[in-house]
Amino acid sequence: MFLTAKGMFMKMETRYHATREDIAAEEAEINAAKRDPRAFGPLYERYYERILRFVYQRTDSKDDAYDIAQQTFIAALENIGKYKFTGVPYSALLFRIALNELSRYYRKAKVRQSISIDDTQVADVLTEIGQENTADTDARLMKALQQLDPEEMNLLQLRFFDKVPFKDLCDILEISETAAKARVYRLLEKVKTIYTTLL
């Protein structure tokens, strides 16, 4: 895994969770798409840019990001008949598919996972582990993050770089909100431990 700082080609959105009315309307769209694949359009339009941003931050190539995002939606549409509605936004499934497609991409292309972060995101993580934000601490944090495994890095990125709220994080990971918070807390402790050994 390697980390880079690069400008996003789209503005990040920080609100993910949907209202009950949104979810009910989305269930109707999913049921319509099960009957007729052409009805998948509204779901695609709603989530495409969000999934593309998510994928782009994890690749070094804009072209690869477009391909992976597209493959995510192809896989979602091909399997929509099997989808069982559980009352959570459809985006949770799309994020899981995108993570699987990214893993497949890393294995097939034999490339290391790429994570793109900016100064604000670095500062957020440093604050969470109780460290000041300086040029020296930035470099040390980058070294610490490179020691995380891909699953840990995905969790950190979802929570702190993508700004996914805990309520949505538990939907994506298919775990309870308490378990999601516990995982993030343990991960931050691990990052802090690694970081302090680099002093």
Mean pLDDT along residues 76-92: 92
Q: Which CATH number belongs to the domain containing residue 55 in this structure?
A: 1.10.1740.10
Average pLDDT, the chain: 85
- Residue 195 confidence (pLDDT): 92
CA–CA gap between residue 76 and residue 80 (Å, rounded): 6
Same domain, 4 and 31: yes
Same domain, 52 and 78: yes
pTM here is 0.76
Given a cut of 80, whether residue 199 has pLDDT beyond it is no
Percent share of the chain, pLDDT over 90: 44
Instruction: Identify the residue with better confidence: 58 or 40.
Output: 40
138-178: per-residue pLDDT in tens?
788 888 888 988 888 889 988 988 888 898 889 888 899 99
Domain encompassing residue 43: 1-116
